[in-house]
Structure 1
């Protein structure tokens, strides 16, 4: 059986692989899956990002939901975290957001949340996949009042979500902030939220047409924000991705502040205030190992989960931890949210700066980064790594050598993009550079040889 869901929902080329027919089937399957919900009429909150295919795929998904008896509450173009919150706000049985997050314009996807606003478990996704692959045979044919209805709440959804974000938020008067909205869903929420908190906001990449989403901007391209800030030492910058569940920043010195920096800042602040459950932070193998070493010296334990923010969440819920995330900018603060929320992370960071009186570059000094290099290599065939035995041997040899020096090497295929990701850490910059260069050169050479037949 072909897997539809990856580590973060369904994601594929829209209207080619992720077709309206498949989205209708996913809507029906979700509705049937929810048939055991307590409420007589199951309600599903549905949002989307602004990319061109989102309206098409949303319409198909809604048709599937309603055909199998679920009601839909549509909330329009909102961040992924807004759908998670609104699912609980409206007391819905589930939430769904049509988005491909940081992926290119041509892609789209589907992320699902349960009634508590948590991303669907892998077990539930497998059940939904089974219903999709089973076809229409087991699905009921409903008529008349039995079919689902659609209620449009997009006119109030943003206001409700911003009110949630503003809870316990102090006055940020005097803060000057440049916000890169990635031409995505954050453009509808982020600038308004930061301004409502009192900050002076300069908005860039704020096109809400969807035609430029993630195109050289946003959290996957923080260099755009760096260039926009230039030599201005009076302000900092925030960069979100297409569905605003990530945050990266640029500090007063023009340096990129990534998810590892944010996790370090949030963990130390929470511990000092007695709000870090079990004095623990959850991360993934992709996070710089210097974070664990540095925080251990402060009495904070770093717990490693599998890759993906859903895996981080499951580890947090299973052990009662309150903070976790990934180096890519996903941060989950369970005291305020049920999933990664880039805008909430931004507000939290500004609040810490305001309360501590420290600049952003001063806050990042709470930890020391291990020399690390990350290279993403596009591939056409997702089986490339499996058949490259010579590459596996090289990676094994380099990994063993690095381990002896206190470093590490990860070469893996992304589950949501056709990308081979190389992550190398060494005892010094020269070692990290040389190992990364050898591995990356070998990969490109093999790709070129395959292309030439």
Structure 2
């Protein structure tokens, strides 16, 4: 990771960590970079945060000052930007969003012309320009100055694309949606209505400060209540920029990303469409997923945490399905990023084709109880690699056998080691997490 750009772009509290000046300079660099051999074309989307307008306009100012043209999708989803970039001959796409974070945070994600995360080399160069290490870039003058254009038509084409992916009518299906007061508020309902579903929506009244606030994929209580009270067939909750989806079955049970990988992976294999008979998951996926995939004779490619790493493994090996428990699922045949609304459509395809409820489809995977605690440490690698710590890891691993596991993972952003145990009961999880932390304390690795 760079100084500003992490695995999910440049993110932080608006005008404290990420400022309008940063956005202007990013626009200046990208406008110059893509305007050297032809007239640069950059498309921009944003979520519903109050600060998103500020960052959008700052980016536009920088892009056009460098001579490139900016095309504005306005409030839209991250996957819609990726779709428009790769299908409509844009040089670059930018999404202004902090995903599932609170409203006062914001972020800038940059995509290349193929809809993938921009290369690390370009990010490094942008950081140098932001810090004044490149000198000033040339401005454009007279008729060479870029223009900003409304491009809502691109968002509409994306909606049409999503609708086209469904092979069956949703007539008679009763579906709940939680749009997190975010990017999907103007898209999701129109998609499901067009497909014939009777839709019930919450989290669709953004005011600039209520994005992700007690709603969406990180707070599914409202959707669970809606599904139960309205006796719906299922529900889908998205995050602020709608690249994630957490589903709810007909009984209100949470259907997170591991369930989605199981249900869709099994279905794709049955249809002969699971490339290389492999699903991509991260080390944090539940042990239940790995056991279920083994039973179904499906291979699992395991990556470190982060959709960036899931996507890299998929691109490198041609895999068609991968994702995280958080609901960030990539169907690479249809998209280059996680797409919450697409994920909901893919689940609906299985429900309708198999003529089974979502809850029934999920029954083949038994989730293991899991406990995760964050431990503050002076030095993460020292703590994880401490001989006594590693010895305890081996003891716990042996004690759990095939019915559990322990995992120590260094946080990418905090002075924290995450201690995670999965086991047959909550009591076992608690016991082994406590044992592990006690060893770390005895080795003076923990900061109180």
TM-score by length of 2: 0.90
The corresponding residue for 1:249 is 247
1:84-163 mapped onto 2 (5 Å cutoff): 84-135=82-133, 137-154=135-152, 156-163=153-160
- In 2, the alpha carbon distance for the partners of 1:251 and 1:394 equals 44
Q: In the alignment, which of 382, 386, 394 is matched to residue 400 of structure 1?
A: 394
Shift of 1:335: 1.1
Q: In the alignment, which of 428, 431, 440 is matched to residue 428 of structure 2?
A: 431
The corresponding residue for 2:354 is 356
Give the secondary structure class of the aligned counterpart of 1:110: strand
Q: In the alignment, which of 319, 324, 327 is matched to residue 326 of structure 1?
A: 324
Deviations 1:322-354 (A, max 9, x none): 111111101110111111000000011112101
Say if 1:225 and 1:250, in contact at 8 Å, map to a contact too.
Answer: yes
Say if 1:48 and 1:54, in contact at 8 Å, map to a contact too.
Answer: yes
Deviations 1:172-197 (A, max 9, x none): 11111111111111111111111111
- In 2, the alpha carbon distance for the partners of 1:376 and 1:194 equals 39
Say if 1:411 and 1:422, in contact at 8 Å, map to a contact too.
Answer: yes
Say if 1:284 and 1:312, in contact at 8 Å, map to a contact too.
Answer: yes
Shift of 1:372: 1.9
Instruction: Tell whether 2:54 aligns with 1:56.
Output: yes
- In 2, the alpha carbon distance for the partners of 1:209 and 1:252 equals 30
The corresponding residue for 1:298 is 296
Instruction: Tell whether 2:10 aligns with 1:10.
Output: yes
Alpha-carbon distance change, 31 to 361 in structure 1, aligned in 2, over 3 angstroms? same
Alpha-carbon distance change, 86 to 29 in structure 1, aligned in 2, over 3 angstroms? same
Alpha-carbon distance change, 22 to 290 in structure 1, aligned in 2, over 3 angstroms? same
Say if 1:395 and 1:409, in contact at 8 Å, map to a contact too.
Answer: no
Give the secondary structure class of the aligned counterpart of 2:363: helix
The corresponding residue for 2:24 is 24
Q: In the alignment, which of 264, 272, 286 is matched to residue 270 of structure 2?
A: 272
Q: In the alignment, which of 197, 200, 206 is matched to residue 198 of structure 2?
A: 200
- In 2, the alpha carbon distance for the partners of 1:122 and 1:59 equals 25
Alpha-carbon distance change, 34 to 195 in structure 1, aligned in 2, over 3 angstroms? same
1:346-385 mapped onto 2 (5 Å cutoff): 346-374=344-372
Shift of 1:263: 0.7
The corresponding residue for 1:226 is 224
- In 2, the alpha carbon distance for the partners of 1:180 and 1:376 equals 29
Alpha-carbon distance change, 104 to 335 in structure 1, aligned in 2, over 3 angstroms? same
- In 2, the alpha carbon distance for the partners of 1:234 and 1:440 equals 43
Deviations 1:25-79 (A, max 9, x none): 111222333346x6x1111110000101100111111111112222111100001
Deviations 1:114-143 (A, max 9, x none): 111112233432233233334561511221
Alpha-carbon distance change, 93 to 393 in structure 1, aligned in 2, over 3 angstroms? same
Shift of 1:201: 0.7
User: Unpaired segments of 5 or more residues in structure 2?
Assistant: none
Shift of 1:421: 4.8
Alpha-carbon distance change, 392 to 135 in structure 1, aligned in 2, over 3 angstroms? same
- In 1, the alpha carbon distance for the partners of 2:51 and 2:388 equals 41
- In 2, the alpha carbon distance for the partners of 1:102 and 1:441 equals 33
Shift of 1:434: 2.6
Shift of 1:229: 3.1
User: Unpaired segments of 5 or more residues in structure 1?
Assistant: none
- In 1, the alpha carbon distance for the partners of 2:116 and 2:213 equals 29
Deviations 1:162-215 (A, max 9, x none): 101011412011111111111111111111111111111111011122220011
The corresponding residue for 1:178 is 176
Give the secondary structure class of the aligned counterpart of 2:260: helix
> Bigger shift: 226-235 or 388-397?
388-397
- In 2, the alpha carbon distance for the partners of 1:161 and 1:441 equals 52
Shift of 1:373: 2.6
Say if 2:175 and 2:232, in contact at 8 Å, map to a contact too.
Answer: no
- In 1, the alpha carbon distance for the partners of 2:322 and 2:217 equals 18
- In 2, the alpha carbon distance for the partners of 1:442 and 1:236 equals 44
TM-score by length of 1: 0.89
